[in-house]
Structure 1
Amino acid sequence: MHQPPGYEQYGSNGNPLACRLKKALYGLRRAPRAWFEKLKQFLVSVGFVVSKSDASLFVRVISGSTLYILVYVNDIIITGNLSTSIDWFIQLLNSTFSFKDMSDLYYFLRIEVTRSSGCLHLCQKKYIHDILDRCSMTTTKSVHTPMVSSSTLAKSDGECLEDLNEYKSLTGALQYVVLTRLDIAYAENRICQFMHNSTTAHMIALKHILRYLCGTLDFGLVFRPSAPLSLVGYADANWGLDFYDQRLTSGYFTTEVTWLLSLLQELKLKSDNTPNVWCDSSSAVVANPVLHSKFKHVKLDLFFVREKVADGSILVGEVPTCDQVADVLTKTLSVTYFTRLLSLLRVLPVEKMGE
């Protein structure tokens, strides 16, 4: 290590001495930011543009060649429309920095990637298996749903846990699983509400999720890149908003769709179809300009939706309750209903990804 300024010492030959590092210091607060800034400057210098929708995404479009770079600290995904451009950039990157080329993408941030018939299957089998192994549940009997349909969790259920660390640790680990397993999103959200005061009943609900995952290790999200853009109103906004009118969620969905359209535009992708936000309640479809006084607090959301509907960038429609895929994310369901909606949500085992 170089000596810090103002504390330089010199040897008998007059040359500056070097510090011998006995222990490396990891986790310096500024290190990731400094590294990202250095990498960002390099990418911009070779023609990349920073995405406005995602600060970790860089796009380079030059004479028919399109490159996408997604950065997470020192883990990088590189893709594009020309293999020659990808090879050129990898060589350039390797000549500037010390990098290891991992070849085709198959594992990234504990997410497994499988390709087949133009589809992508994102799975966290190994990560989930590690969680199950940690709590000795790899051979436990599996269940068909992540939460019992008749279950209602409350603060006063069961006796308080003496040690909350295990509950908090497992709950936090499952939050990362939700990235590829939307089927456990509602159950995970419910157990997260009791992290400050967990009971034996909450621990039972947590282990029920783990038992469900034990029987569905191969499940993951399936994407079809060539499929037309058609967005379903997955009801993330309903979490913790039960006391609001359902019309509030339309504003949330429209914001998410608008962001996604902006991201696709930066990726130079365009769909001929207008995205849809589906609601299973006619009152949730914003069409009537007359607002009741009790909805003053959501006026801005409603006007925002109307503007998007009026200019034709968003369609808000009604879908029958029996076909509302978002129910998987907002309530406990019977096994039959849950299984049917799960296939519509495209959370499938890898062997069914091409169907």
Structure 2
Amino acid sequence: MTEEYSALVRNGTWSLVPRVPNSNVVDCKWVYKLKRDQTGTVQRYKARLVTKGFRQQPGIDYQSIRKHLAPLQLDIQNAFLHGDLHETVYLQQPPGFVNSTTLNHVYFLHKALYGLTQAPRAWFHRLSAALHSLGFQGSKTDTSLFIDSNGNTLLYMLVYVDDIILTGNDTKEIDRVVQSLSRSFAVKDMGNLSYFLGIEVTRNGNDMILSQRKYIRELLESADLSNAKPVSSPMTTNAKLALGDSATFDNPVQYHQIVSALQYVTLSRPDIAFAVNKVCQYMHCPTINHCSAVKRILRYLQGTANYVLRLMHDSGTVLHAYTDSAYNSLTSFSDAGWAGCPDDRRSTGGYAIYLGSNLVSWSARKQKTVSRSSTESEYNALADTVAELTWLQDLLRELRVPVKSVPTL
């Protein structure tokens, strides 16, 4: 707590001022967390001062907005604390650090804090400005991606809040970027990419292997299914899920938590995308039958937790997607089951797109409109696939990855 508080003071986060009458003063609290690596070993103990941003008033104290080198992993310590505030925000003195001589004073914030509604936006604006000064340009296809393309030098930076992946074809330029960022922010160089947002990254020669084994094991433990008997598929071929198909499940919060975690697992496990999409459709009113379907997915993961997604270096750059008309198939294709949902008669569509032999994008979800024929359902699925292919073409063009042939669908 003292380390975090000292960092806030050094950063010029606030000024202690008398309380302004009739002003909205935001409360705060301390949040504690253990930072672990992919093996579960504790790396450090962290205390973070978090504001109760839900007490902010729109238009008063925040503005509403609609809304071939091994990759290097960076961590920006106290990231949100670097964002500059343009609104007037008052904060209660933090628990444990109240000035006894000025009990009625509050902090006038100059910098953002975790929990403030505008904190993510303020931090992103500050980081974007720093990266632009270093020669990076924001991607037009992915707002979290920044690209520095200068002559033969190529640098890519992917940003998720305070976790950053940096890679490129010039080690000197990468070192220059890290050193420059270190002068503005507290940057921690975590070495070659190995564990990022719950995804384990390992190298096999020039190939990259993605896995969520640790995340899956923790999910199974939280669901008390670590010793469950594995099954061979995430969903039975005759599974029929519908609203009110059985008695209401008595713990909907647990259902929400597990299904939300399963959605994250689909980042590296396309084999469960269809089954997870089905159980996601009943988050608002889960039944015992829906819960059984979720447990089957977990039991499938119990037996396949070591499955990985392999990205091969020498796989080619030809974009192609696959299509199939089989409704219940759980393999890789663009698929549509006409009027498959008994509740709203909307079809389920999906696709899988490959760059060379690497699976890079997949989806299984209910279509937005009701199709009046199986042909229309198939065309809607194809249209969704073409939209994703077009987006991937634009992204690869920005990354200066040559795609010399027209994608095959």
TM-score normalised to the size of structure 2? Answer: 0.61
- Alignment equivalent of 1:80, drawn from 159, 165, 168: 168
Q: How does 1:9-48 map to 2 (within 5 A)?
A: 21-22=94-95, 26-48=114-136
Structure having greater relative contact order (Cα 8 Å, sep ≥ 6): 1
- Alignment equivalent of 1:2, drawn from 12, 15, 18: 15
Query: Could you tell me how far 1:4 is from its partner in structure 2?
Result: 4.9
Partner of 1:270: 402
Aligned length: 266
Partner of 2:152: 64
CA distance in 1, matches of 2:298, 2:397: 39
Partner of 1:258: 390
Query: Could you tell me how far 1:225 is from its partner in structure 2?
Result: 3.7
Q: How does 1:122-141 map to 2 (within 5 A)?
A: 122-141=210-229
Partner of 2:320, secondary structure, is coil
Q: Does 2:334 align with 1:235?
A: yes
**Counterpart residue identity of residue 15, structure 2:** H
**Counterpart residue identity of residue 232, structure 1:** A
Are 2:149 and 2:155, in contact at CA under 8 Å, matched by a contact in 1?
A: yes
Partner of 1:118: 206
CA distance in 2, matches of 1:165, 1:81: 47
Q: Does 2:244 align with 1:156?
A: yes
CA distance in 2, matches of 1:212, 1:261: 34
Are 2:141 and 2:394, in contact at CA under 8 Å, matched by a contact in 1?
A: yes
**Counterpart residue identity of residue 67, structure 1:** L
**Counterpart residue identity of residue 3, structure 1:** L
Are 2:154 and 2:168, in contact at CA under 8 Å, matched by a contact in 1?
A: yes
**Counterpart residue identity of residue 321, structure 2:** V
Gapped runs of 5+ residues in structure 1?
Answer: 8-18, 278-355
Gapped runs of 5+ residues in structure 2?
Answer: 1-13, 21-91, 98-112, 323-332, 336-347, 350-364
Are 2:234 and 2:296, in contact at CA under 8 Å, matched by a contact in 1?
A: yes
Q: How does 1:258-337 map to 2 (within 5 A)?
A: 258-277=390-409
Query: Could you tell me how far 1:20 is from its partner in structure 2?
Result: 5.6
Partner of 2:308, secondary structure, is strand
Partner of 1:144: 232
Q: Does 2:267 align with 1:209?
A: no
Residues 235 and 20 (structure 1), Cα distance of their counterparts in 2 relative to 1, 3 Å cut: same
Query: Could you tell me how far 1:37 is from its partner in structure 2?
Result: 0.3
Partner of 1:269, secondary structure, is coil
Residues 4 and 122 (structure 1), Cα distance of their counterparts in 2 relative to 1, 3 Å cut: farther
Query: Could you tell me how far 1:6 is from its partner in structure 2?
Result: 8.6
Q: Does 2:141 align with 1:53?
A: yes
1:208-252 C-alpha deviation (Å, 9 max, x unpaired): 000000111111222124322232144377132373431122221
**Counterpart residue identity of residue 95, structure 2:** K
Partner of 1:112, secondary structure, is strand
- Alignment equivalent of 2:278, drawn from 190, 205, 224: 190
Q: Percent identity?
A: 39
Partner of 1:176, secondary structure, is helix
TM-score normalised to the size of structure 1? Answer: 0.70
- Alignment equivalent of 2:260, drawn from 168, 172, 178: 172
Partner of 1:55, secondary structure, is coil
Partner of 2:283, secondary structure, is coil
Partner of 2:49: none
Are 2:155 and 2:166, in contact at CA under 8 Å, matched by a contact in 1?
A: yes
Residues 249 and 203 (structure 1), Cα distance of their counterparts in 2 relative to 1, 3 Å cut: same
Structure with the larger helix share? 1
CA distance in 2, matches of 1:89, 1:62: 14
Are 2:130 and 2:181, in contact at CA under 8 Å, matched by a contact in 1?
A: no
Are 2:210 and 2:268, in contact at CA under 8 Å, matched by a contact in 1?
A: yes
Query: Could you tell me how far 1:266 is from its partner in structure 2?
Result: 0.6
Partner of 2:192, secondary structure, is coil
**Counterpart residue identity of residue 253, structure 1:** T
